Amino acid sequence: MYIGQVAKDILKWPRPVSPPVVRLEKRVMAEFGMPSTHAMAATAISFTLLISTINRYQYPFVLGLMMAVVFSTLVCLSRLYTGMHTVLDVLGGVLITATLIAITYPAWPLIDSLHSASPVLPVCVIVVPFLLCYHYPVSDAYTPTRADTTTILAAGAGVTLGLWINHFFQLVAEPAQSLPALRSIPPLTRALVLQGLAKFTVGLLLVLLVRLLVQKLSLQVLFSWFKVVVRNKEARRRLEIEVPYKFVTYTSVGICATTFVPLLHRVLGLL
């Protein structure tokens, strides 16, 4: 996502002209178009999920491939339908993601084990994404890409840090024995659905509460530090305010989702 967002502000290719295209989205009209980060995200999520689960769960590969193709295709087509991207934007996003998957695939096992490998990892996980966001390419006019990029990287940093905390403080019980290489996907029963809905609701409420509290607190501190009027919405767009408050807020959200939500589930007997 960082590569895709930065590429937009470097290439500065405009979105499709309207008319003849009717734009159905308004918030991101100030952004540039190439590549489509929606296409990148959809392709990355669907195909990395397929690749990483095919050797762990028993299901037909063709079915998984069809679901990955359908999901990513529908997202790509939606970007054309809403008038936010050209066909070239979408194809560019898919191609970039396919290249990144091919390049990083050999390192997946190493990346997957890093969260428990070194006590230095938390520092790297916070410092590197923050510096990438703080030194985001400057545009001639304000666009929401920097804010969106900070949100994405901060959430990823929070999730990674939360996983590291779980391992380091042994908050998640380790399995008694190694799991088999292939496992069957459990049947979708009524009890399982209700349990999943309960866990989702509890987790969502806690995440939203943490997001609200941390956002308000971080903005208050930054506004006070830089002597800015609290209700000045334009001040939120300043680099020294926008990046820190969003990074702190969504890092907290990531940590909450991976650490505190499971702990709350255990307390409530939802696991």
Cα–Cα distance, 36 to 184 (Å, whole number):
35
- Among 18-22, 87-91, 135-139, 171-175, the least confident range: 171-175
Model pLDDT for residues 200-217, shown as the tens digit of each residue: 999 999 999 999 999 999
What long-range pairs does 228-231 form, CB within 8 A, spacing at least 24? none
Query: What average pLDDT does the segment 135-153 reach?
Result: 83
At residue 263, does pLDDT exceed 50? yes
Query: What average pLDDT does the segment 224-250 reach?
Result: 83
Query: What average pLDDT does the segment 70-97 reach?
Result: 91
Model pLDDT for residues 146-198, shown as the tens digit of each residue: 888 999 999 999 998 998 888 877 776 554 445 556 677 778 888 889 999 99
Residue 149 CA, distance from chain mean position: 9
CA distances from 38 to 25, 79, 152, 159 (A): 13, 8, 13, 21
- Percentage of residues in the chain having pLDDT higher than 70: 89
- The rounded mean pLDDT for the chain is 85
- Look at 138 and 243; give whichever has higher pLDDT: 243
Q: Residue 226 in contact with residue 240, Cβ under 8 Å?
A: yes
Of the candidates 93, 20, 137, the one whose C-alpha atom is nearest the C-alpha of residue 101 is 93
At residue 26, does pLDDT exceed 70? no
Cα–Cα distance, 124 to 75 (Å, whole number):
33
The predicted structure's pLDDT at residue 186: 77
Residue 4 burial by Cβ neighbours in a 10 Å radius (0-12, 13-18, 19+): buried
Query: What average pLDDT does the segment 72-98 reach?
Result: 91
Tokens matching residue 106: 């050999």
At residue 28, does pLDDT exceed 70? no
Segments of 12-96 assigned E as strands: 57-58
Of the candidates 199, 215, 126, the one whose C-alpha atom is nearest the C-alpha of residue 165 is 126
At residue 80, does pLDDT exceed 90? no
% helix / strand / coil in the chain, to the nearest 5? 70, 0, 30
Rg, Å, the chain Cα set: 21
Q: Residue 150 in contact with residue 247, Cβ under 8 Å?
A: yes
Tell me which residues are annotated as active site: 38, 85
The predicted structure's pLDDT at residue 176: 46
* Residue 48 half-sphere exposure toward CB, CA atoms < 13 A: 20
What's this model's pTM, rounded to 2 decimal places? 0.81
At residue 13, does pLDDT exceed 70? yes
